[in-house]
Amino acid sequence: MHRRIQVKTPDPQDLDAQEQCFRDHSCVVIPDLLSPDLVREMNEAMDRDIQANPFMWWTTGSRNYNCNLLLNEPVFEHAIRPPRLLALLERLMDGPFCFEELAVRHRTGETTAVPTDWHRDRNYWDEHPLRLDYPQIIYYLTDVDETTHCFSISPEPAAGPTLPPQEHLERGGILDFHGTAGSGILFNAATLHGVTLRETNKVRRTIQVYFGHPDRAPVSDVTLMPPRLWRDHHDPEIRRFYGKFNRYSRVVLGGLGILDT
Ligand SMILES: O=C(O)CCC(=O)C(=O)O
Ligand SMILES: [Fe+2]
């Protein structure tokens, strides 16, 4: 069993401290990033969409998982560009960055606990000063503690060597991210992490947002870029930010005659 550790949460107004936390641990907890009103609106949007569009709640074989809520529930844009998050990403990314993927999940309870499914979503980008190709933020839309499922990560120094999973866990220990609805954790999607499923009848709801560098490969082929953001938006920076197309967007938008491919 690897040791459970705590990482001190830096003051969310202190960008220097947040940046340092990411450099030291490849992750940083950001409390209360979404207001209670936004959390309520997002939960209502989820309830509405699960009812109206159940067929949208399957992605890559996973149930209760929707990567395209941006199409019909624009409130989720607030999870992508909170000013405090953008300011931090600006420091970490070392150049322009853009939106890649939005995933929203409703996870029901389990009759028995399931150990963490340790994995890396993607590889490191070794040429980057923080080895950071795809930063991800996971927000909770429900309160999470030791009586619910939780996100777990094995922190590591951003500039450190890549270790095999068991050594990585040995070196970094395990941080279980517990927090109230509206809190988030920003991390390198290459750092070893997973979901820890507990024996519980409580639901856990999460939002996952991935960001990337404009000139690198898309992180995935699951989120369709809505034309209202990359084509019709009045602000050229927003159009640029949402204008990196994965294959899924190219096939669908191209096939509909909305995008030249
Ligand atoms: O649900 C979580 O806490 C983690 C999910 C995850 O790691 C993933 O979807 O790749
Ligand atoms: Fe993951």
Please, what sign has the CA dihedral across residues 8, 181, 54, 208? Answer: negative
b/e burial code for range 37-47 (CB count within 10 A of at least 16 → b): ebbebbeebbe
Q: Which ligand is nearest to the CA of 197?
A: 1
How does pLDDT run across 130-186, given as a tens digit for each residue? Answer: 999 999 999 999 999 999 999 999 999 999 899 999 999 999 999 999 999 999 999
State which of 62, 67, 105, 138 you would mutate to test the pocket of ligand 1, scoring each by most atoms of that ligand within 8 A of its C-beta. 138
Fold of 15-223: Jelly Rolls (2.60.120)
pLDDT bucket at 261, cuts 50 / 70 / 90: confident
Distance 147 CA to ligand 2 centre (A): 21
Q: Rounded distance, CA 261 to CA 254, Å?
A: 6
Distance 233 CA to ligand 2 centre (A): 31
pTM above 0.75, yes or no: yes
Residue with the smallest CA separation from ligand 1 atom 1 is 195
Domain ranges in the chain are 15-223
Q: What pLDDT, on the 0 to 100 scale, is given for residue 60?
A: 87
Distance 116 CA to ligand 1 centre (A): 10
Residue with the smallest CA separation from ligand 1 atom 3 is 151
Strands 98-107, 150-153: pairing is unpaired
Atom of ligand 1 nearest to the CA of 121: 10
Q: Rounded distance, CA 10 to CA 223, Å?
A: 31
Q: What pLDDT, on the 0 to 100 scale, is given for residue 137?
A: 99
Residue 167 has a CB neighbour count (10 Å cut-off) of 11
193 lines ligand 1 (CB under 6 A): yes
CB-side neighbour CA atoms (13 Å) of 233? 17
Q: Rounded distance, CA 188 to CA 190, Å?
A: 5
Strands 135-140, 184-188: pairing is antiparallel
Distance 144 CA to ligand 1 centre (A): 14
Distance 167 CA to ligand 2 centre (A): 19
113 has pLDDT over 90? yes
Q: Rounded distance, CA 213 to CA 219, Å?
A: 10
For residue 97, how far is the Cα from the chain centroid? Answer: 15
How does pLDDT run across 205-250, given as a tens digit for each residue? Answer: 999 999 999 999 999 999 999 999 999 999 999 999 999 999 999 9
Q: What pLDDT, on the 0 to 100 scale, is given for residue 114?
A: 96
How does pLDDT run across 67-109, given as a tens digit for each residue? Answer: 999 999 999 999 999 999 999 999 999 999 999 999 999 999 9
State which of 195, 196, 223 you would mutate to test the pocket of ligand 1, scoring each by most atoms of that ligand within 8 A of its C-beta. 195
121 lines ligand 1 (CB under 6 A): yes
